[in-house]
Each structure stands twice: as C-alpha cells, then as structure tokens.
Structure 1
Amino acid sequence: MHTSPEALMAIIGMALATIAIKAGGLLLADRLPRYGFAAAWLRHIPGAVLAALVAPALVTGSMAEVFAAAATGLVFVLSRNLFASMATGVLTVYLMRIWLG
C-alpha cells in the first residue's frame, strides 16, 4: 500500500495538533478558577456538549433513539451512575435498531 506525501503530512499535522491541544489543557488546568461563576460554568460544559450531540439524533432519528433516551434517563435517575446510563443508551439504541429493522 502506497501512502501519498500529502496524506502523511496531514496525519502528522493532525497528530501534532492533538498533542498541542492536550498539552495546552494540562498546562492551563492549574490556572482555571476553582470557585465562583466561571468554575460553575466550566463544570456544565461536558453536559452541554453531550446534549448538543444527542439532541439532533433525537429530533431526526427513529423510535430507537427515543427509546434509548428514555432508558438512559431512567437508568441515570435510578442509579446516578453516568457510565451505566451511557452504556444503557448505547446498548438500547443498538438493540432497538436491530429489532425495528
């Protein structure tokens, strides 16, 4: 298999960008606020990003996505375990897509 120089340069560039982003996050972590409005705002970013990724699938998806969202929400309310609820959602959408065809 032959890889073009352009593809190799793109791969190296993306790897360097990924390393720079991760290193920047590690270097800036000590400077982030721990208290106050900005700290509270930063704690809510992961949930907002997840909601932004899931919402379009719920609006444009099939019943499999709706059932998976309901199952995910139910498991989270009952267990308060984020990993268990996310695993339930992924498994539910997978099984519902198989079952519904």
Structure 2
Amino acid sequence: MSAGIANAVAIDPFTFLAIAGMALVTYATRVGGWLATRRMVLSGRALAAMEAVPAAVLTAVITPMVLVTGPAETIAAAITVAASLKLPRLVTVALGVVCVVLLRRLMY
C-alpha cells in the first residue's frame, strides 16, 4: 500500500475506540429493546420507534463528522445518501467508503 493511501485510511486509536464504543452502544440498545419487550405485544407505532433507535444513533454519530471534517467527507456523504435511495445497504456502505478514500486522495 502506498503512503498516500495508507494516510487516507489511517485511523487513530481514539477514533477507533469511539467508533467501537458507539457500535457497542447501538448493539446494546437493540438487544436491550428486544429483551425489555420480548414478552410485550407492541403496537405498530411502538415497534417502529424501537426499530428507529439504531439509525438515530448512527445519524447522531455521522452528522458531525460530515459537517465538520472537510469537503471530501461531505461530498462522499452526499453521494452515499443519494446511492442509498436505489442501492442495497451493503453496496451503499462500500460505495461510501470508496468515495471518501478516493476523495481524500484527490483533494488532500
């Protein structure tokens, strides 16, 4: 891997720990909701609210990064959002990662 690409995808330990911690909290929220409600009969509205929590946490994490870090991340996020309207989730995630890496490489 060339030094330029390595720098584009480098992540410091604190960022990694923050991402891992947020992933754990998202997972715990999902499992906690399931454990708390597994014996309850939820209405459609309550079920929709429970299913929206992980996406809300992810949005709260990603939005500041998109708006503060730089133009490469903002453009990559816009491309990813547009792609998410038509493409499967896994393809959208892969496209977002590729876009941010390429844009960082081209812009910095």
Question: How big is each residue's C-alpha offset from its partner over 1:68-101, in whole Å with a ceiling of 9 and x where there is no partner?
Answer: 111111211122x111111111111111111111
Normalising by structure 2, we get a TM-score of 0.60
| Match for residue 88 of structure 1 among 83, 91, 95 | 95
Alignment of 1:49 onto 2:57: yes
* Higher gyration radius (CA): 1
Give distance in 1, aligned partners of 2:41 and 2:98. Answer: 37
Normalising by structure 1, we get a TM-score of 0.64
Q: Which runs of 4+ in 1 moved over 6 A?
A: none
Structure 2: 5+ residue runs without aligned partners? Answer: 1-23
Aligned partner of 1:38 in structure 2 is 46
What's the % identity of the aligned pairs? 31
Q: For residue 100 of structure 1, what is the amino acid of its counterpart?
A: M
Structure with the larger RCO, 1 or 2 (CA within 8 Å, 6+ apart) = 2
Computed over aligned residues only, the root mean square deviation of the Cα atoms, in angstroms, reads 2.7
SS in 2 for 1:97: helix
